[in-house]
Amino acid sequence: MEANALILEQGLVLLAAGMAIVFAFLYVLVLVVRLTARIVPRFNHILPDATPKVPTRPAAAAAIVTDHSAVAAVIAAAASR
């Protein structure tokens, strides 16, 4: 009976130690991320972000989108079957 109690006690100690290690690691990880978030913007002038490009649509795609008569003709042909 004492052997089971000893094993249970060792299991609980191992559980507490593992949880403490994980909690400490996550706490340090949060601190490092916050510190990095404060430090990195100071060096943004070295490698600035590229200016976002304005997406352009090709003229052919714009004509297809605005030409609804062809779509209507296809729908009418499909509906007549």
Residue 65 has pLDDT above 70, yes or no: no
Residue 61 has pLDDT above 60, yes or no: no
pLDDT per residue over 4-58, tens digit each?
A: 999 999 999 999 999 999 999 999 999 999 999 999 888 888 888 788 888 776 6
Distance CA 30, CA 18 (A): 18
SS3 2: helix
